[in-house]
A and B are shown apart, each in its own frame.
Chain A
Amino acid sequence: MRSSTEKAKETAKRELKAEPLESVIDKMITENYDRSKQSVERERFFEIPDKMVMFYKYSYGQQSRFFSELQKNKALYGSKCKGCGMVYFPPRSRCSECYSDTEWVRVKDEGTVVSSTTSWYATSEFFDKVPYAVGYVKPLDADTAMLQRIDLKSSEFVEPGTPVIARFKEKRIGVVSDFWYEVKE
């Protein structure tokens, strides 16, 4: 009969199918780190490159249909309260006003900008996109507005009240950035 420690060793060997992504990142940042600077500051304080990294396989739960319709059908779905009739966009499974259940409803691609801003500074992930506009857009047949990117084209700002229409990326993976709005001509 195998001991539990032997089982544990075998499991460890079997389960790891690739180099852990954390180790890959570790190598990248430590290889590029300027050690000479570290030793100059050493008298007063000692610094090291470090990171906090997490990976997920995230389920959208009861909001899932929004993303499947977006990805498969280029369709925007909200949810309508069976009690008070409020149309939520983004959708929610239960009304936050009267706590009745909601049902899925398709909302229009056309909407109105509630308010927006134009970002000229961003984190590295978005830095090559500046300037870009983000704003709250309310579809014509919904009661709440959703944050979304609004194509600036040649302008620098999108005024509140501007009519917009949804556009969809060719390659959609089921994330909110699969679509955006542009000003309706």
Chain B
Amino acid sequence: MKSYKKMKSEKGRVAVVGTGQTRFEARTPLSTYFELALEASSEAVRDAGITFAEVDSVVYGIYNDLFERQIMPDTYVHDYLGLYGKPGTRVTTGGATGGYAFRSGFAEIASGLADVTLVIGVEKAQDCYDWAQGKSTPEVLKSIAYSADMTWEFPLGTSAASSYAILASAHMRKYGTTEEQAAMVSVKNHGNAFNNPYAQSPMKISVDDVMASRMISYPFKMLDCSLYTEGAYALVLMSENAVRRRGLKDPVWVLGIGSSNDKSFTGSRSAKDRLGMYGDIADLRNHYAAANGAYEMAGIADPGKGIDVAELHDAFSFTEIQGYEAMGFCRKGEGGKFIENGVPLMKGDLPVSPSGGLIGAGHAVGATGVMQIGEVANQLRSRAGKRQVEIKNGKGLAHSIGGPGSSYCSVSVLGVD
């Protein structure tokens, strides 16, 4: 791993120079997935002040072929964008698709393969339709459940929610984290979404509302869960040379990326292994590893002091609490206290998910991680509109997770000079 310091001394840094997105909505029957991708990437290209002709390569973040009703959906986006002649590759790592697509986009430029790379996250889940119940959600859940191991886990009736709920139960048991503390995350993120004109679920709710919402998978209630969303988000990444050549004014530099995949069979994490005794599944060690990797690359010693703003992955409210701990914002087991003390609120010392996160802004799976990184970039270059927070150190973090038992995790740290 090459440190940010070394990349800077070699003038070999990578910047985010453009962002663009569609509205995040429950369903967009007026647009196909490739039309959503076109809308977001046209906006990103315009924001960066370039044309599609100047793009050297593309990385697509698209999670689920069954959502899109298409195997290899990326190749049809590529055609629709008129990018023939240029290389395009797809990344698919569950809920972490966006974070890993960004990692690949960074690599395209850092390696010298490209000077300008588009990272496009897009997803359109709700064309899935359950004809037995006459609605989309159960069929969306089914298409995700096929991501569980088809031999050992899918036949038992597992779901994305149950996979993460098992981790939350373990966290409650080990540290005494409460459902009310998790509900505070939901209240915060639904509230933050009012400041995001692209968000799907702005709601003024209380902890009691969350506690009273229908049970989905214990301890997750309906309002602890993000909703499925259709939308796209695109980023333009550029090499330091190209940034200088074009005289771009406010590049947001990639300071560090750390990624770690844990065992996807959550049950095998309870064994003693090469990475040391895990003992239980309350602590998501790949999240710790990803954060540590990103901080090491960025040269950040104390994340609690160095980071101004973070977008954490809150597919479920409890997951954000586990994120506070793994990102080093508080000590292990104190994530519940962290929200109770108001630190991650908009007016707190370390605002988390001013966008509304997945719970407030929506979870357009492949687009989600890209959106989180774009949100942090816009915060750092003071373009976050009504959701702008105070930038003191010029550093922000995005946390992208997914897969069975949260087996994928990629953490990106961005910064401005």
Interface residues of A in 163-182 (CB under 8 A from B): 175-177
- Beta-carbon nearest neighbor of A45 in chain B: B29
| Pairs A–B under 8 Å by Cβ, sample size 26 | A32-B131, A44-B30, A52-B69, A90-B152, A114-B267, A114-B270, A115-B166, A115-B170, A117-B161, A117-B218, A119-B159, A119-B161, A120-B217, A123-B138, A124-B133, A136-B166, A144-B265, A144-B267, A145-B268, A146-B267, A147-B156, A147-B267, A148-B156, A160-B169, A176-B156, A177-B156
Which A residues are in CB contact (< 8 Å) with B214? 120-121
State whether the Cβ of A138 lies closer than 8 Å to any Cβ in chain B. yes
Instruction: Give 1 or 0 for each of A122-148: 1 = CB within 8 Å of chain B CB.
Output: 111111010110111110000111111
State whether the Cβ of A88 lies closer than 8 Å to any Cβ in chain B. yes
Contact assessment for B267 and A129 in the assembled complex, using a CB-CB cutoff below 8 Å? no
Which A residues are in CB contact (< 8 Å) with B69? 50, 52
Which B residues are in CB contact (< 8 Å) with A136? 166, 266-267, 270, 281
State whether the Cβ of B132 lies closer than 8 Å to any Cβ in chain A. yes
Q: Which of A114, A145, A149 contacts B156 (CB 8 A)?
A: A149
Q: Which of B161, B169, B220, B268 contacts A115 (CB 8 A)?
A: B169
A90 to B153 CA separation, bound complex (whole angstroms) = 11
Which B residues are in CB contact (< 8 Å) with A44? 29-30
Q: Which of B173, B216, B218, B272 contacts A156 (CB 8 A)?
A: B218
Range, interface on chain A: 35 or more
Instruction: Give 1 or 0 for each of B212-247: 1 = CB within 8 Å of chain A CB.
Output: 001111111000000000000000000000000000
State whether the Cβ of A60 lies closer than 8 Å to any Cβ in chain B. yes
Which B residues are in CB contact (< 8 Å) with A131? 215
A51 to B280 CA separation, bound complex (whole angstroms) = 40
A120 to chain B, nearest CB (A): 4
Interface residues of B in 141-164 (CB under 8 A from A): 141-142, 145, 151-153, 155-159, 161-162
Contact assessment for A115 and B167 in the assembled complex, using a CB-CB cutoff below 8 Å? yes
Which A residues are in CB contact (< 8 Å) with B131? 28-29, 32, 49
Contact assessment for A149 and B157 in the assembled complex, using a CB-CB cutoff below 8 Å? yes
State whether the Cβ of A116 lies closer than 8 Å to any Cβ in chain B. yes
Instruction: Give 1 or 0 for each of B107-136: 1 = CB within 8 Å of chain A CB.
Output: 000000000000000000000011111000
Closest 5 CB pairs of A and B: A145-B267, A117-B165, A126-B157, A115-B170, A144-B268
Contact assessment for A114 and B152 in the assembled complex, using a CB-CB cutoff below 8 Å? no
Contact assessment for B145 and A123 in the assembled complex, using a CB-CB cutoff below 8 Å? yes
Given A47-B29, A52-B69, A118-B218, is A123 in contact with B139 using a C-beta cutoff of 8 Å? yes
Interface residues of A in 40-89 (CB under 8 A from B): 41, 44-45, 47, 49-50, 52, 58, 60, 63, 86, 88-89
Given A114-B280, A120-B218, is A125 in contact with B133 using a C-beta cutoff of 8 Å? no
Contact assessment for B132 and A114 in the assembled complex, using a CB-CB cutoff below 8 Å? no
A168 to chain B, nearest CB (A): 15
Interface residues of B in 246-286 (CB under 8 A from A): 263, 265-268, 270-274, 280-281
A45 to B27 CA separation, bound complex (whole angstroms) = 13
Contact assessment for B157 and A117 in the assembled complex, using a CB-CB cutoff below 8 Å? no
Number of interface residues of B (CB under 8 A): 50
A41 to B29 CA separation, bound complex (whole angstroms) = 10
State whether the Cβ of A19 lies closer than 8 Å to any Cβ in chain B. no
A23 to chain B, nearest CB (A): 16
State whether the Cβ of A159 lies closer than 8 Å to any Cβ in chain B. yes
Given A120-B216, A157-B218, is A129 in contact with B169 using a C-beta cutoff of 8 Å? no
A54 to chain B, nearest CB (A): 10
Which A residues are in CB contact (< 8 Å) with B272? 143
State whether the Cβ of A15 lies closer than 8 Å to any Cβ in chain B. no
Apart from the given pairs A118-B217, A121-B214, A134-B157, 9 other A-B contacts in the complex at a CB distance below 8 Å: A49-B131, A116-B166, A118-B215, A119-B162, A121-B215, A125-B142, A134-B156, A134-B158, A160-B280
A147 to chain B, nearest CB (A): 5
Which A residues are in CB contact (< 8 Å) with B220? 117
Given A123-B141, A160-B173, A177-B155, is A117 in contact with B267 using a C-beta cutoff of 8 Å? no
Given A116-B169, A120-B216, A124-B138, is A97 in contact with B162 using a C-beta cutoff of 8 Å? no
- Beta-carbon nearest neighbor of B133 in chain A: A124
State whether the Cβ of B330 lies closer than 8 Å to any Cβ in chain A. no
A72 to B284 CA separation, bound complex (whole angstroms) = 38
State whether the Cβ of B384 lies closer than 8 Å to any Cβ in chain A. no
- Beta-carbon nearest neighbor of B145 in chain A: A123
Contact assessment for A122 and B157 in the assembled complex, using a CB-CB cutoff below 8 Å? yes
- Beta-carbon nearest neighbor of A129 in chain B: B157
A157 to B142 CA separation, bound complex (whole angstroms) = 23
- Beta-carbon nearest neighbor of A60 in chain B: B151
- Beta-carbon nearest neighbor of B138 in chain A: A123
Which B residues are in CB contact (< 8 Å) with A45? 29-30
Given A120-B217, A146-B267, is A115 in contact with B281 using a C-beta cutoff of 8 Å? yes
Which B residues are in CB contact (< 8 Å) with A118? 215, 217-218
A125 to B219 CA separation, bound complex (whole angstroms) = 22
Contact assessment for B158 and A147 in the assembled complex, using a CB-CB cutoff below 8 Å? yes
Contact assessment for A147 and B281 in the assembled complex, using a CB-CB cutoff below 8 Å? no
State whether the Cβ of B391 lies closer than 8 Å to any Cβ in chain A. no
A117 to B130 CA separation, bound complex (whole angstroms) = 24
Contact assessment for A121 and B265 in the assembled complex, using a CB-CB cutoff below 8 Å? no
Contact assessment for B273 and A97 in the assembled complex, using a CB-CB cutoff below 8 Å? yes
- Beta-carbon nearest neighbor of B214 in chain A: A120
A90 to B155 CA separation, bound complex (whole angstroms) = 14
A63 to B150 CA separation, bound complex (whole angstroms) = 13
